[in-house]
Amino acid sequence: MIKRHIIFAASFVTTIIIGYSDYLSGVHVSMMLLYAVPVLLSAWYCGKVEGIFVAVGATVSWFLVNANNNPSGESEAVMSWNAFTRFGIFVLIAYTVSLQAQLRRALERERLRSETDRLTGLLNKGAFRDRVEEEMDRARRYKHSLSLAFIDLDNFKRVNDTQGHARGDRLLQQVSETILHAIRRTDIAGRIGGDEFAVCFAETGEEEARKAINHLLKTLQIMTSQSGWQVTASIGVVTCRELCDTYDALLGKADKQMYLAKEKGKNTAEFVAI
């Protein structure tokens, strides 16, 4: 909201500055294009109404400049008509640009909705796969390491059975929030099943992955103990040193490591490097 106000105020002030420059340059130099710039910016970033307000300011600024700098002696009727046509052009710019901005934002919202798991806000299974495969291609190209973690909640079914699905959903939301807070902004997190999550650690070797997963486990333990959830997490991690396998094969290896972690008592992580 503050950003919109700043852009709107800056656009309005800009029309005054352009008007003063227009006055200094004289009637023989057209500033039409410059007047249109703040109208365009305010309409794109602020909206149609703000764009029209700036269009009014640009028109008034132009009219005052030409009224005080009118060597050809144009009549008031001619000047009024010219001002009206310029106002119409500015309003058309504001209206068209604002519609384009609305359409772009709507398309972006739809894209995010199609990629996002509605319950947790993480990437859904398909979007996670796409993002990880892009990262795997990058790892192959530049010969970077990459680590993939498969996370499964221990005793989650007991929560659903004893406390209800609404409480289970709340647990999944809290786990997702904890994962996002524990990983880097460059890492990729997704929900790939009911109580199954996955995290792709870009450009991350085995030692770095161990540190990241240990931090994640501790963060999850703190969250569950403070919130009273009787659950833990078992995590399987696979690290590609240079050449990554396919996504399905990589996820399968991480899944196997996760089951090893469960067999060893849960609430732990198992690692493998390939």
The 3-state secondary structure of the chain, one letter per residue: CHHHHHHHHHHHHHHHHHHHHHHHHCCCCCCHHHHHHHHHHHHHHCCHHHHHHHHHHHHHHHHHHHHHCCCCCCCHHHHHHHHHHHHHHHHHHHHHHHHHHHHHHHHHHHHHHHHECCCCCCECHHHHHHHHHHHHHHHHHHCCCEEEEEEEEECHHHHHHHHCHHHHHHHHHHHHHHHHHHCCCCCEEEECCCCEEEEEEECCCHHHHHHHHHHHHHHHHHHHHHHCCCCEEEEEEEEECCCCCCHHHHHHHHHHHHHHHHHCCCCCEEEEEC
Question: Which residues carry out catalysis?
Answer: 195
